[in-house]
């Protein structure tokens, strides 16, 4: 990180200088007071020289350090710490203009304060990135003043600190804790009661109070002369895929994130849960052409491969080719799998055009179609109208909400599992459906 130094004159200097000049000019009218102006100018000169010595010669350059995670989570609050270390023998007053990344320029925001000598000053703020990709911080500008405040020293910390914005790792960790530490109900994850017996035998162990009586192994009990029970584990190594639509209908934005970005964040969360549950996870993307293809697996490098693939997804403003997607699935996925399709139908015509291909996929696999409710439409539909224009807007919004619900019902009538959800509730809805289907033994 290189540094550039400049010396600037402050407002206090100009105020004193203007006053001294006025006093000196008054000396021509009142000769007896001319010495007062000369004394003021001479004193100002001495103080400026002293201030320069304090800032440049005696005072050392403060050390500037930016501490951040090189992998930020898209759509989440990512903390950034700024550390200023004053190595001078006296305190300094500062103003810091941080070099915010291009997507988060806060030109009116500055940090002010006083740096005690020999003590680190820590400043904090959060970045809320809305796009994936590689970004850079810009130059940071630090303005220093001594207690005299007649001149200030500007230090430009030139840097090329780079970071990458990935799909939300914070959400991934959050839902991992919710699912596996029984903290579900407070954050939208439902407690699912297991139905049927979609489990694999694991071992025989001693009976513990609370075990179900139907799991008692009577043969082992008679041999051991004490109660023994069969212990089961969830079926594992089942194939689960996320199929992400990258077409133009997924470019609609809510709270700064596109539906594609919500789907990518949710896919990462879902992949982590599936792999921790022992299932094999794979990924497909498509628009007018098929994009990423990652076969289902659960090896140690699968999560990294999925994360890198989601990070590199590019948006396309073309219509989704469901026929090509169905053909690719038929050719590439031979084992019956759970397929989670993230898409968005603009109207019933678009849904019915894709329906034959969805039915073909659902014959050989367990297909779950995920599409989105428009949260803004709900606000318009349920707002109290105060004008005729607002009344018309509310009616149209209500019709569009009803149309989405009608599409979800129609898909269910054809035996296709459906999730109709608001974007911010996507991850919780997907995990609930996955746990529900596993509990029912459908996968």
CATH number at residue 271: 3.40.50.410
* CA-to-CA separations, 184 to 60, 225, 419, 425, 428, in angstroms, rounded: 54, 40, 19, 14, 10
Q: Is the pLDDT of residue 343 over 60?
A: yes
Together in a domain, 222 and 125: no
Together in a domain, 147 and 179: no
Q: Residue range 292-296: average pLDDT?
A: 92
pTM summary value: 0.76
pLDDT at 198: 47
- Confidence band of 214 (pLDDT split at 50, 70, 90): confident
Return the SS3 of 139. Answer: coil
pLDDT at 294: 93
Q: Is the pLDDT of residue 146 over 70?
A: yes
Together in a domain, 370 and 277: yes
What is the distance of C-alpha 132 from the center of its chain? 9
Q: Residue range 408-417: average pLDDT?
A: 92
Tokens 């895929």 -> residue: 241
Together in a domain, 176 and 306: yes
Mean pLDDT score across all residues of the chain = 83
Main-chain phi, psi angles of 420, to 5 degrees: -110, 115
Q: Residue range 66-81: average pLDDT?
A: 89
28-37 long-range contacts (CB < 8 A, ≥24 apart) are none
Rounded to whole angstroms, how far apart are CA atoms 121 and 52? 23
* CA-to-CA separations, 364 to 235, 279, 334, 358, in angstroms, rounded: 20, 19, 9, 11
Together in a domain, 253 and 393: yes
Return the SS3 of 261. Answer: helix
Q: Residue range 103-109: average pLDDT?
A: 71
Q: Is the pLDDT of residue 33 over 80?
A: no
Name the β-bridge partners of 4: 156
Parent domain of 75: 1-166
Q: Is the pLDDT of residue 339 over 90?
A: yes
Contact 86, 121 (CB under 8 A): yes
187-202 pLDDT, tens per residue? 566 655 544 444 555 6
Helix ranges (DSSP H) in 184-321: 218-224, 259-276, 302-311
Contact 394, 381 (CB under 8 A): yes
Q: What is the CATH number of the domain that holds 72?
A: 2.60.40.10
Number of domains in the chain: 3
Rounded to whole angstroms, how far apart are CA atoms 152 and 154? 6
Together in a domain, 20 and 126: yes
Together in a domain, 107 and 1: yes
Together in a domain, 227 and 240: no
pLDDT at 328: 94
Rounded to whole angstroms, how far apart are CA atoms 176 and 333? 27
Return the SS3 of 86. Answer: coil
pLDDT at 240: 94
Rounded to whole angstroms, how far apart are CA atoms 402 and 398? 6
Tokens 């299932």 -> residue: 279
Together in a domain, 136 and 186: no
């Amino acid at each position: 990180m290189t540094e550039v130094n400049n010396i600037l004159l402050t407002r206090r200097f100009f105020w004193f200088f203007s006053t001294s000049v006025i006093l000196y000019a008054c000396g021509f009218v009142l000769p007896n007071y001319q010495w007062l102006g000369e004394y003021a100018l001479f004193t100002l000169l001495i103080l400026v020289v002293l201030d320069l010595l304090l800032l440049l010669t005696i005072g050392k350059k403060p050390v500037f350090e930016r501490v951040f995670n090189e992998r930020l989570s898209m759509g989440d609050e990512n903390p950034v710490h700024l550390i200023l270390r004053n190595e001078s023998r006296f305190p300094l007053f500062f103003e810091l203009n941080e070099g915010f990344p291009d997507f988060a320029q806060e030109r009116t925001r500055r940090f002010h304060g006083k740096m005690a000598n020999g003590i680190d000053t820590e400043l904090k703020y959060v970045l809320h990135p809305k796009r994936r990709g590689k970004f850079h911080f810009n130059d940071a500008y630090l303005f220093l003043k001594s207690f005299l405040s007649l001149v200030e020293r500007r230090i430009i910390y030139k840097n090329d600190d780079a970071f990458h914005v990935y799909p939300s790792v914070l959400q991934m960790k959050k839902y991992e804790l919710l699912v596996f530490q029984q903290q579900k109900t407070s954050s939208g994850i439902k407690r699912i009661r297991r139905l049927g017996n979609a489990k694999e035998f694991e071992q025989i162990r001693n009976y513990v109070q609370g075990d179900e009586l139907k799991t008692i192994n009577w043969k082992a009990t008679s041999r051991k002369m004490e109660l023994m029970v069969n212990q089961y584990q969830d079926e594992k190594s089942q194939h689960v895929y996320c199929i992400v639509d990258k077409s133009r209908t997924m470019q609609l934005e809510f709270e700064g994130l596109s539906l594609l970005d919500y789907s990518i964040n949710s896919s990462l969360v879902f992949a982590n849960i599936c792999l921790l549950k022992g299932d094999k996870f794979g990924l497909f993307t498509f628009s007018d052409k098929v994009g990423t293809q990652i076969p289902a697996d659960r090896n140690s490098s699968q999560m990294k491969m999925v994360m890198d693939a989601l990070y590199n997804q590019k948006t396309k403003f073309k219509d989704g080719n469901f026929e090509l997607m169905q053909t690719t699935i038929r050719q590439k996925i031979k084992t019956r799998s759970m397929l989670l399709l993230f898409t968005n139908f603009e109207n019933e015509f678009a849904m019915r055009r894709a329906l034959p291909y969805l039915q073909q996929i659902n014959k050989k696999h367990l297909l779950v179609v995920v599409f989105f409710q428009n949260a803004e439409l709900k606000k318009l539909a349920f707002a109290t109208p105060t004008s005729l224009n607002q009344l018309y807007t509310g009616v149209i919004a209500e019709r569009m909400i009803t149309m989405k619900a009608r599409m979800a019902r129609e898909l269910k009538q054809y035996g296709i599992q459906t999730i109709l959800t608001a974007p911010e509730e996507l991850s919780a809805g997907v995990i609930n459906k996955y746990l529900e289907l596993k509990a029912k033994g459908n996968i």
